Amino acid sequence: MTDTELFPQLVIPETLAAGPGPGNTDARVLASFANAGLADHMQADVLRGMIECKLMLRKVWGTKNTYT
């Protein structure tokens, strides 16, 4: 049995996705994001925010675990 037989073709309808996951975002939304300078998860400010959040959560949970 091949993968094609196990999994039928995934068809995503033309919808405006407002959350995570696969979806087709309207071209106007993508253009607005591009003009605004979209911040992704590897941008310095976003990384700093994640590190600060991690440090605060460690304090709240009372742990020094590297993976928290």
pLDDT value, residue 37:
67
**26-35, 39-48, 52-61, range with the lowest pLDDT:** 39-48
For residue 56, how far is the Cα from the chain centroid? 22
Global pTM reads: 0.45
pLDDT value, residue 38:
61
The tokens describing 66, both together, are 């590297």
Environment class of 68 (CB within 10 Å of its CB; exposed 0-12, middle 13-18, buried 19+): exposed
Q: Does the pLDDT of residue 50 top 90, yes or no?
A: no
